[in-house]
Each structure stands twice: as structure tokens, then as C-alpha cells.
Amino acid sequence: MKKKVLSLLLATAMVASLAACGSAAPESTDTQSSDTSAQSGDAAATDTADSAAEDYELTDLYITVDGTLTANVDNGQDAFIEQWEQAVSEKIGHPITLHINQPEHSGYKDNVAQLLTTGQPGDGQYPDALIMSATMFKQYQTTGILWNMADAYANAEFQSRVTLPSINENMKTASGELYAFAPTYGNGCVTYVKQSWLDAAGLKIDDIKTFDDYYNMLKAFTKDGQTGVIAAGFGKLDEAPYINYMPEFWQGAYPAIYKNGDQWVDGFQEQATIDALNRLAQGYADGVIDKDTEEATTKVAREKWFSNDQTTSEGVFTYWAGTWLRTLTDNLDKNDVDADLGDDRLVQLAPIKEIKDTWGGYLNREAPVWVITDDGDGNDAREQAIFDALIETMLDGDKVQTLWTYGAEDVHWSTHAESFTTNPDDPDKKKDYEYAEGEFHLKQSPNDPNAVWKKNHLDPVLVIAPLTNGFIDNDPLVTAGNKFFTENCVDAPQSPSSETLTEVEADLATDKTTYLNNVVAGKMTAEDAIADYQSKWGDTINTILEELNSAE
């Protein structure tokens, strides 16, 4: 009997709490309404923002960043935070504390979704500002949680030094709102080929001009456990620009919704995609594409590529341009691969004819951005203060920009005279570095004394407003890599922003990846895959296209 009474009591308590909690829910909806109205671009509110910001004292700044902030907790982040706080406190006139939340890079998107859905400003986890990829940003742009920083951006001090104004201007909505800030342009991937593999096959990089040339090169590389090419997936269909890890196979195809002329269309249903799927399937069947490609993450793919066991490696890898040319070369060096070739281990393949004839070059992705969250109180003071402390200072051309570009002084870089040696115990790899007093240079990595630090968050070559203090890392390999990319790239298509697309995008990407993998593995034909896709997703895609085209 006692048991039954207790059960009844518990059930009653639960029902009562349910009713109580349920009645509280609509209040949250009201918050959303005010949030949306706060973003309506009310001119009066904007006019008062600056004066309100002067009254608002931002003492704690919570930011969420992905792996592109390379000064992580194992790599001198404490010093970065300390020097940032000191420099920014001086600039804004009062002390400020920086809190960095850096989730694991591969799970960043999911982590951010949870933070933004379940958190509240000021709860110690909810980000005041955060990094987003272009795809993520487009998904969040219409949700009302991002702050319209158009005015703050227009009035920013760094405007006079911006050399690439189009990057941020192009992100504005039709009505002129700007919900994100890109401190750099996007960068993209280029195809790297191992020189030693070319030599062994008796090939020259300049002779690889068409897809047939490229394919024959892969065939020549494929023997005795070695394979032509590896990538992180045959296509990365959840992250724009989707095709950049295997551009030679994808050529002019774009397996996503994109703007063709003045109309939004679904590239996955186009003949170019069917042709690309067939090329990939052929490459897989011929064994020139490494079988691990299907499941490999970027980390797995690149580590296999520069592994010290080259007998099961690949000759070709398409990866990020510029700094990554140095990183890949250094990793080959670390693994004793082609030591005799030094910095000439890798050669960059110019876009093949089929890419030039369609896109015009490798794709320069839409830039990753910083966004500021709107607390929805109808007052821009907090958001303006975040902009002033974080974004305004990020491109100050001097101290703070150097922190974001190279990291902390005397931890990641220095101007003091010093000498150091990397790999001191290995005569083959040992390298001495010596710098005079006043000479800017990068130091040994905090967590790897055998490697020289490369950069922090901002790539000095890609940044839209260059440093004014003359601190430039003149690594000729990085410079050559960046030059090669800028000479051979075109801007990637703009990502769409639609409510329905945001709702289904993850499922859509999962299904498209399944179709892609099935076709490549020979489980279904490309035509059947597209027909199946059309029957499952056709109506939804039409709705998305209608939303996008009617918004134009």
C-alpha cells in the first residue's frame, strides 16, 4: 500500500511540475519575437547603439573557436590570452577577461549547435562571438540569433586599411544587413604531387594538362600497394565548396544548390554531377583512388599521405594552399620521406583543362567568419562592445592583430636575438636558426621543439587588412604556395540561405553522401542514384529553390 501511495505522490509531483514548466514555455517564444524585432534594422535603435556601447562595460568576453586558432591549450594559449587581455584592456580603457572555448575541431558544428540552442548569454558557456564556416553561417543567418553588425563594420577603424572590401560587402543581405565578419579571404585547395613519384614514373608536372593526363599519372602511380590519390571522402557534401578535395574528378560539377546565372538550381541533379560520379566510380574500380578515401577524415588522409610507410601511400593529394604546403613538406621531412629533395618534395599541379574550361580554376571557398550573438534585449550596447573588443582590435594592424596572426610574443614569435636548433639529435634533419636583435621571427612550437611555429588564427597572406608593423614571415615555400593559388583560383559559388534547407541540410548531405558512395563503389549507377534522389528529395528541393528564387 505504502508503495502505491508513494508512486501516486511521485506521479502527482511530476504532472504538477510538467504543467508548471509547460506554462513557462511561451515566454521563451516572446524572447524570440523581441530578438527578431531587434534585428529588423530599426534606424533609431542603431543611432543609439554607439552611445549605449559607451555606457556598457564588457568585462568578460566568451568566444568559441574551432581548430583554426592554432594557439590551443597545448600550444601556448595561456600566453595568448594574457597578452590579448593586456593589449585590449589598454585599447578599450578597462580590464577585460577573455574566455576561450575550443571544442574538438571535427565536432565543432555539433558543439556550436548545442551551445546556441541550450545556452543563454552570460551563463559562462554561451558564446558572445564565435567562428563559423560559410555553410554554418548561412544556416544561422536567418535564425535571428546573430547580430547585424553592418553599422559597426562600416564605422570600424580598420576600414581605412582594408585591401579586400568585397569579401565582407558580398556577405551583406539584399537589405544591407551584415551578420558576420570575415577577417580573411577563404583560401582553397590545390593538387600536390610527390616529385619523387613523378620521377619514378618518368613524368613531368608540366605535361599533366588534361584529365586523361592526370588519370594516366594516377595509373602510373598505382602499383604494389601504392595508389594514385587519396582524399577525405570522394566529395565532402556537408561542407562548401564540396568538390575541392577531388577537383579533377568533379571538374565542372557542383553537387549542391547553387546560383546559375540569376537562378538557384540543384547541381546534384545535373548531368555534370552524373558524369563526375561516373569518373569517380571508374577511378575507384581501377584502383587509382585509395580505398580508404571513403571513410577517411582529413587527418587520416593526410597522415597516410605523408606517412613514413610510403609503400601503401599515394602520389597525389589535394589540400589547402599556402601554409599547408609548408606543413605537408615538413611532415614528409619528419617522416624521412624524400629527404634528398628538401623543400622540392612537392609540386603543385596547375588546374587541368577541364577545370579551367568550367570553373576557371581551383575554388576559393567562401571565407570562414566571426559572428556576434544577439541577446535579443533590443539594445545593441553589449553587441557593439563585443565588436569593439574583439573584431575592431583583431585588425588593428599592430599588437592585437599580431597576436591573432602569429600568437604570443616570446612564446610563438619574437624580435629578440636568439638561436635555436631543431632536431639537434638527428644529423640529417638538424637545422640551426639564428636571429639578430630586432629581427622578427617565429620560434619553436611550444609543444614541438623540433618544429618552427607557423601561424595562429589569421593567415598573414589572406587577411583583408595587412599588418602595419612589418612583421612578416618570409617563408618562401608558403609565399610560393599562396602565389600559386591566387594565380589559379576563382571564387566558389555563394552558399544559399533558406529556412527549409537549414532544416533538412544534414539529412540531405547524408543521403547524397550515401548515393555518392554507392555509385563509386559500383553498387548502383549514377543515373539510378539521381533518379532515387529525385523521387525522395524532389519536392523538398523544389520548395527550397522556390524559397531562394522568390527571395531574389
Residues that bind other proteins (CB under 8 A): 6, 10, 13-14, 17-18, 21-22, 25-26, 28-29, 31-32, 35, 109-110, 113-114, 116-118, 136, 139-140, 143-145, 225, 290-292, 294-295, 312, 376, 502-503, 505-507, 510, 513-514, 517-518, 521, 523
Instruction: Tell me if 376 sits within 8 A of 34, measured CB to CB.
Output: yes
Which one, 196 or 517, has the nearer CB to other proteins?
A: 517
Q: Which neighbouring-strand residues pair with 445?
A: 448
Least spacing, CB of residue 24 vs other proteins, in Å: 9
Which one, 139 or 364, has the nearer CB to other proteins?
A: 139
Which one, 142 or 269, has the nearer CB to other proteins?
A: 142
Which one, 118 or 468, has the nearer CB to other proteins?
A: 118
Least spacing, CB of residue 140 vs other proteins, in Å: 7
- Cα–Cα distance between 215 and 306 in angstroms, integer? 21
Which one, 32 or 308, has the nearer CB to other proteins?
A: 32
Q: Are strands 418-422 and 431-435 parallel, antiparallel or unpaired?
A: antiparallel
Least spacing, CB of residue 513 vs other proteins, in Å: 5
Which one, 76 or 376, has the nearer CB to other proteins?
A: 376
Only one residue has cell 636583435, namely 437
Least spacing, CB of residue 111 vs other proteins, in Å: 9
Host H or E run for residue 98: strand 97-101
Cell of 254: 557542383
Least spacing, CB of residue 185 vs other proteins, in Å: 24
Which one, 6 or 436, has the nearer CB to other proteins?
A: 6
Least spacing, CB of residue 323 vs other proteins, in Å: 28
Least spacing, CB of residue 339 vs other proteins, in Å: 24
- Cα–Cα distance between 311 and 206 in angstroms, integer? 25
Only one residue has cell 609565399, namely 479
Which one, 26 or 470, has the nearer CB to other proteins?
A: 26
Least spacing, CB of residue 445 vs other proteins, in Å: 28
Counted residue by residue, the chain has a size of 552
Q: Which neighbouring-strand residues pair with 192?
A: 317, 348
Residue 274 exposure: Cα atoms within 13 Å on the Cβ side? 12
In the 3-class helix/strand/coil scheme, how is 238-294 assigned residue by residue? CCCCCCCCCHHHHCCCCCCEEEECCEEEEHHHCHHHHHHHHHHHHHHHCCCECHHHH
Q: Which DSSP string do the residues of 183-233 spell out, in sequence order?
A: SB---BEEEEEEHHHHHHHT--GGG--SHHHHHHHHHHH-BTTBEEEE-SS
Host H or E run for residue 46: helix 43-55
Which one, 22 or 470, has the nearer CB to other proteins?
A: 22
Q: Is 59 exposed, middle or buried (0-12, 13-18, 19+ CB in 10 A)?
A: exposed
Least spacing, CB of residue 120 vs other proteins, in Å: 9
Going by C-alpha positions, the residue among 133, 128, 107 that lies closest to residue 116 is 128
Least spacing, CB of residue 277 vs other proteins, in Å: 14
Which one, 29 or 59, has the nearer CB to other proteins?
A: 29
- Cα–Cα distance between 471 and 402 in angstroms, integer? 8
